[in-house]
Every structure is written in structure tokens, then in C-alpha cells.
Amino acid sequence: MYLVNLIDSLLPLIFEYITCPAIDFFMVFITRLGDGGFIWILTIALLMVSKRTRKVGFIAVVSLLICFITGNCIIKPLVGRIRPCNLYPELRMLIERPSDFSFPSMHTATSFSVSSIILMVDRKWGIPAIILSVLIALSRVYLNVHFTTDIIAGALYGYLIAVFIKFVIKKTKFNVFEY
């Protein structure tokens, strides 16, 4: 438990010393991109437009849905971890307090599930997608709505869902992971 507390205190401690209005604006903007999976739904829609990337778009939809449904409907209620902003009401809030549980960060999990699929198919687009996923994850801690371990678990969870889907897809004729 000591290790979890230590990990959970690291990013907030760092962010305590780097806050300023420009970073505040940037972090709110970045977290909004992840709200409701907005940026990933938009990305998937763009992938679906081209016949060449349509299969990847479909696989990304599956990844996003599996991650969202299992994370929000099973894991979050099962773990029931209170968010830092609700545990410590004195924390500075730049966005509204979420009403659901904290673990794992679904902004992070869904981001990593989609961006990992993209990375597995195309590094040129996957690397910027992963960078955006990391920024979304960091924004959640910066904004005091998640603990550091929530975003670590969310990133790992999203990535593992993508790996599982890749494994299943490689066994089918629908394989887009080999060109």
C-alpha cells in the first residue's frame, strides 16, 4: 500500500510546482478531447472514410467499445475507488467534479485502446496518437480527477485490450496487422 501511495503522490507533487494559466488552459483543452471518447470517435470516423483504413477503423471501434463497457460497467463499480477531488475537497478544480469512480481512468484506457490499435497498424500515425493518449492521461492527474495509479492502470488496460483484439484478429481473415 505504501508503494501505491508513493506513486499516487508523485505527479500531483510535480504538478503543484508547474501550474500556470497557460498550462491550466492546455490541460483542460486536452482532457476535453478525451471527454466521451470525442477525439477517438472522430479519429475512427476519419479512418472509416477511406476504404484503405476502414478495417482499422472498425477494429478501433471494437477496441473502444470493449474498453468503455468493461471499464465503466464492471471494473469501476467493482473497485469503487473515490476520486482525489472527492476525497480531498480542498483541491483546486478547473473542471466539474466527475460523479463516478476513479479507477481506472477511462479517458486514459479508451485513449490507449484506440491509439495502440493505430500504432500496431501504422507507426507514422500511431506515435502521435500515443503522445495524445499520454497527454490526456496526464491531464486527468493535473486536473485532480484521477490518482497516478488510475492513469497507469488505464493505460495498461487499454493497451491490453488492443493486444487481445490484435491476437483475435490475427486468427481471422480480417487481419490488418500484416501488410
Q: What are phi and psi of 32, to 5 degrees?
A: -65, -35
6 touches 147 (CB < 8 A): no
Give the mean pLDDT of 100-119: 96
DSSP label at residue 172: S
110 touches 37 (CB < 8 A): yes
Count Cα atoms within 13 angstroms, Cβ side, for 12.
21
Sorted by where each begins, the domain ranges of the chain are 29-170
Q: CA angle 123-125-130, nearest 5°?
A: 85
What global pTM score does this model have?
Answer: 0.89
Q: How far apart are CA 36 and CA 41, in angstroms?
A: 9
Q: CA angle 99-102-103, nearest 5°?
A: 145
End-to-end CA distance of the chain: 45
The per-residue pLDDT for 107 is 96
Q: What is the DSSP string of 62-91?
A: HHHHHHHHHIIIIIHHHH-PPPHHHHSTTS
Q: pLDDT grade, residue 179 (50/70/90)?
A: very low
Q: pLDDT (tens digit, 9 = 90+) per residue, 18-32?
A: 778 999 999 999 999
Q: pLDDT (tens digit, 9 = 90+) per residue, 51-82?
A: 888 888 999 999 999 999 999 999 999 999 99
- Per the document, the length of the chain is 179
Cell numbers at 9, concatenated: 503522490
The dihedral through the CA atoms of 73, 79, 88, 24 has a sign that is negative
